[in-house]
């Protein structure tokens, strides 16, 4: 062992390291005379005895030192973790405050509107300024001074200082640190799991061990402060200690008086123990508080949600804004109401926001709500679960579309019909968490399978294209909302508003440009047609590209309303100018497209970015730059052909469906799969035929060849 080397080197070093142990100047001669004195073991203070004692003491200090190193590393990790949590929690708080301010403002506007409508006078309700939000740095510095965590800082720092001093006093041995560091790492690895376990079960597995150790120490410790580990950090410290002690049992069992053992223990354990307690408790509270805050926020959101559609819009915008903040996406604001709600980064915090108690509330929450940085993003990322099963079609459901605002959707099936469903009119299915929905209305006019579907921006009209070459335009008359229909009402021929005939083969794709009430369709006859369905001479233009084959899917380019993108079964897509009718940009991968079947099954445009996304038969999803026509990203997205795509209204998530029976949710930012759901069964070699996001509510849906549609919440 190294002990010998150290001993023979210099007695001064021993004195320094040993601290309180008074060895006296004869230490050096002791070492030199060692061999000659060996026989005199009977003497009370024999040289070997002293040597033995020194060795023991040395080993003990080494041991304790290393142990403290372990503890220190653990505590530092703990500190880092807690600081991270605090930061995350601040982020969350900022977000909630932002949301509350937005809602407050929306509510005020709504009240003012209502008041004005009712009394014809402007309502005086104090501050009607749109909320201006502080940038995050300001909040940071504010929190810095206000939060109790920081208020504790001096004593905390003191504790650290003390610890550091102590460690410096007893020195540093790299070798032992090395040995211990693996154990520390293992412990830290356990850290997260253990914490969760404790939060849930109250007592971690290693609780017994630490209890044992605690009672062990209790005997030696005078007024024992804790007989049970009151915090995780302490439990872990004790556990480490116990482990170390067990391993080196022979040392503690040595019949040497270890007077200062207790002192040291107390010094080390009590100081940081008290400190840690507060913080750790804060962490423990975390789980519950998060829920509360979230639930409260959601409750508020839900209540406000009912107020009016415009508030709903605003809420959405708020969501968009906050997401935009997180993602740094540029967001175009065309045609959206309540622009004044845009958050201004540059402006400073306006303390007279008129939030009243709400503002207080959030400030008070400051230190208590904790949220991990990484999961603050996840606050908006939910796990989708199947909730509604829509069973009433006799054959595969080819397409589905949500109403823009109501919890209503329409499905189009190979059984020649379209059905309208209201998710609020459900039949509880026995023995399952999911609800069955019965259709409210069945649209019959197609004489063959219905292949595609689109709903106008107001939800007033629904367009469907079929194998029978026709595009039908459906309309619910007498102004009633789509959700108030008796399924067994009398037949109204005027439900069918008009029929657009012009295609000479199956119509496979439809898309609506909400701002202009334009409709674009593509068909197996090789043409893409642009319609103004509700005016005379509905057909506006026809686009073809014979070299590229048959168009399989179309969409409007969202950031340039004069453009449409058409995907062809040759795997190329073309962006056309709707006014000139000329192709503007070609989206070509450049590789030989004929060899593998790279047919595009679906093409969609990003709602805000100049980005086109295509789903291919060769299991890929490809991303294209609309300006350059170059491929931006390409990924194998499924185990089988990708059939359908949908981008959420905020442009953050992509939903894809495939014949591999699963739908997958992708984060558009980093193109990672967030969730996969096996949703439908196969009929022949087809499975999922369409997917959709609700434009304003948290619903997603999938349509399958098994004749079912499913809605996830």
**Is residue 487 part of the contact set for another protein (CB under 8 A)?**
yes
**Is residue 306 part of the contact set for another protein (CB under 8 A)?**
no
Q: In whole angstroms, how far apart are CA 239 and each of 66, 74, 116, 649?
A: 14, 12, 68, 51
**Is residue 278 part of the contact set for another protein (CB under 8 A)?**
no
Site string (428-467) toward another protein, x via CB under 8 A: -xx-x---x-xx--x-xxxxxx-x---------------x
Site string (653-682) toward another protein, x via CB under 8 A: ------x---------------------xx
Q: Which tokens hold the place of 334?
A: 């065309």
Contact 72, 167 (CB under 8 A): yes
- H-helix segments, 497-577: none
Q: How far is the CB of 274 from another protein (least distance, A)?
A: 59
Q: Which tokens hold the place of 281?
A: 């408790």
β-bridge partners, 556:
564
- The DSSP bridge pattern shows strands 435-437 and 386-391 to be parallel
Block residue for tokens 């008074």:
22
**Is residue 173 part of the contact set for another protein (CB under 8 A)?**
no
Q: In angstroms, rounded to a whole number, what is the distance separating the alpha carbons of residues 122 and 169?
A: 74
**Is residue 407 part of the contact set for another protein (CB under 8 A)?**
no
Contact 340, 142 (CB under 8 A): no
DSSP letter string, 219-255 = HHSSS-S-SS--SHHHHHHHHHHHHHHHHTHHHHHSS
Q: Which of 131, 159, 533, 551 binds another protein (CB under 8 A)?
A: 551
**Is residue 542 part of the contact set for another protein (CB under 8 A)?**
no
**Is residue 472 part of the contact set for another protein (CB under 8 A)?**
no
- Among candidate residues 632, 143, 153, 530, the one with its CA nearest the CA of residue 349: 143
Block residue for tokens 């480490």:
240
Block residue for tokens 């211990």:
180
Nearer to another protein by Cβ, of 71 and 468: the residue is 468
CA–CA–CA angle 469, 480, 555 (5° rounding)? 35
Q: In angstroms, rounded to a whole number, what is the distance separating the alpha carbons of residues 683 and 704?
A: 9
Nearer to another protein by Cβ, of 289 and 485: the residue is 485
Q: Which tokens hold the place of 322?
A: 């906050």
Handedness of CA 631, 635, 641, 646 (dihedral sign): negative
**Is residue 637 part of the contact set for another protein (CB under 8 A)?**
no
**Is residue 616 part of the contact set for another protein (CB under 8 A)?**
no
**Is residue 475 part of the contact set for another protein (CB under 8 A)?**
no
Nearer to another protein by Cβ, of 289 and 496: the residue is 496
Q: How far is the CB of 584 from another protein (least distance, A)?
A: 22
Nearer to another protein by Cβ, of 106 and 621: the residue is 621
Q: In angstroms, rounded to a whole number, what is the distance separating the alpha carbons of residues 383 and 517?
A: 34
Nearer to another protein by Cβ, of 415 and 648: the residue is 415
**Is residue 411 part of the contact set for another protein (CB under 8 A)?**
no
Nearer to another protein by Cβ, of 93 and 598: the residue is 598
Q: Which of 493, 546, 590, 595 binds another protein (CB under 8 A)?
A: 493
Contact 6, 14 (CB under 8 A): yes
**Is residue 494 part of the contact set for another protein (CB under 8 A)?**
no
Q: Map residue 644 onto helix, strand or coil.
A: strand
Block residue for tokens 């299915």:
429
**Is residue 684 part of the contact set for another protein (CB under 8 A)?**
yes
Piece in contact with another protein (CB under 8 A), picked from 23-31, 132-140, 506-514, 539-547: 506-514
Q: How far is the CB of 414 from another protein (least distance, A)?
A: 8
Q: How far is the CB of 396 from another protein (least distance, A)?
A: 9
Which residues of this chain interact with another protein, rule CB under 8 A?
Answer: 389, 391-395, 415-417, 429-430, 432, 436, 438-439, 442, 444-449, 451, 467-469, 487-488, 490-491, 493, 505-506, 508-509, 524, 549-553, 568-569, 599, 601-602, 617, 641, 659, 681-686, 706-707
């Amino acid at each position: 062992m190294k002990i010998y080397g150290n001993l023979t080197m210099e007695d001064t070093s021993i004195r320094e390291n040993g601290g309180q142990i008074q060895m006296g100047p004869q230490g050096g001669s002791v070492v030199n005379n060692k061999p000659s004195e060996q026989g005199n073991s009977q003497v009370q203070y024999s040289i070997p005895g002293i040597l033995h004692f020194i060795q023991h003491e040395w080993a003990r200090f080494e041991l304790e030192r290393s142990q403290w190193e372990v503890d220190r590393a653990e505590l530092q990790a703990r500190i880092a973790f807690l600081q991270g949590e605090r930061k995350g929690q601040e982020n969350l708080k900022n977000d909630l405050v932002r949301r509350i301010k937005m809602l407050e403002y929306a509510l005020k506007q709504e009240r003012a509107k209502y008041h004005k409508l009712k009394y014809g006078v402007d309502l005086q309700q104090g501050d009607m300024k749109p909320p201006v939000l502080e940038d995050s740095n300001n909040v940071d510095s504010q929190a810095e001074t206000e939060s109790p965590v920081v208020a504790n800082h001096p004593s905390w720092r003191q504790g650290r200082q003390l610890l550091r001093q102590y460690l410096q006093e007893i020195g540093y041995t790299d070798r032992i640190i090395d040995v211990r560091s693996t154990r520390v790492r293992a412990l830290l690895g356990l850290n997260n799991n253990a914490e969760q376990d404790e939060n849930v079960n109250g007592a971690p597995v290693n609780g017994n061990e630490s209890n044992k150790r605690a009672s062990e120490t209790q005997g030696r410790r005078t007024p024992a402060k804790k007989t049970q580990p009151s915090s995780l950090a302490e439990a872990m410290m004790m556990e480490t200690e116990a482990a170390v002690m067990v391993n080196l049992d022979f040392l503690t069992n040595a019949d040497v008086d270890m007077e200062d053992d207790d002192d040291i223990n107390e010094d080390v354990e009590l100081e940081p123990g008290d400190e840690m307690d507060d913080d750790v408790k804060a962490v423990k509270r975390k789980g519950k508080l998060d829920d509360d805050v979230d639930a409260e926020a959601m409750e508020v959101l839900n209540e406000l949600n009912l107020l009016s559609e415009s508030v709903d819009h605003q809420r959405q915008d708020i969501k968009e804004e906050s997401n935009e903040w997180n993602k740094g996406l540029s967001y175009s604001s065309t045609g959206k109401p309540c622009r004044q709600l845009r958050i201004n980064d540059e402006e400073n915090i306006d303390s007279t926001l008129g939030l009243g108690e709400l503002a207080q509330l959030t400030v008070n929450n400051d230190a208590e709500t904790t949220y991990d940085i990484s999961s603050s993003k996840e606050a908006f990322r939910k796990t989708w679960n199947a909730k509604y099963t829509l069973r009433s079609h006799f054959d595969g459901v080819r397409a589905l579309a949500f109403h823009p605002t109501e919890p209503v959707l329409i499905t189009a099936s190979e059984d020649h019909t379209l059905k309208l469903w209201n998710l609020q009119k459900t039949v509880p299915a026995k023995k399952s968490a999911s609800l069955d929905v019965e259709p409210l209305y069945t649209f019959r006019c197609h004489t063959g399978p219905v292949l595609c579907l689109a709903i106008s921006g107001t939800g007033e009209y629904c367009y469907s294209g079929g194998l029978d070459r026709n595009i039908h335009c459906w309309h619910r008359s007498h102004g009633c909302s789509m959700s108030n229909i008796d399924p067994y009402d009398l037949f109204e021929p005027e439900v069918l508003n008009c029929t657009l005939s012009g295609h000479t083969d199956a119509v496979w794709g439809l898309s609506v440009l909400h701002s202009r009430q334009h409709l674009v369709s593509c068909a197996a006859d090789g043409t893409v047609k642009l319609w103004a369905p509700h005016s005379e001479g509905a057909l506006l233009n026809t686009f073809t590209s014979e070299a590229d084959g048959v168009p399989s899917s179309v969409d409007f380019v969202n950031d340039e309303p004069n453009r449409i993108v058409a995907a062809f079964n040759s795997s190329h897509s073309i962006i056309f100018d709707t006014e000139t009718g000329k192709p503007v940009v070609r989206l070509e991968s450049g590789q030989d497209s004929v060899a593998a079947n790279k047919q595009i099954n679906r093409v969609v445009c990003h709602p805000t970015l100049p980005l086109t996304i295509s789903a291919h038969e060769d299991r890929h999803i490809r991303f294209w730059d609309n300006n350059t026509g170059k491929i931006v990203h390409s990924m194998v997205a499924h185990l089988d052909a990708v059939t359908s795509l949908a981008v959420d209204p905020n442009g953050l998530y992509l939903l894809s469906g495939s014949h591999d029976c699963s739908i997958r949710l992708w984060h558009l930012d980093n193109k990672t799969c967030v969730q996969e759901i096996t949703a439908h069964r196969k009929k022949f070699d087809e499975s999922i035929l369409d997917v959709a996001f609700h434009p304003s509510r948290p619903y997603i849906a999938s349509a399958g060849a098994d004749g079912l549609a499913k809605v996830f919440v």
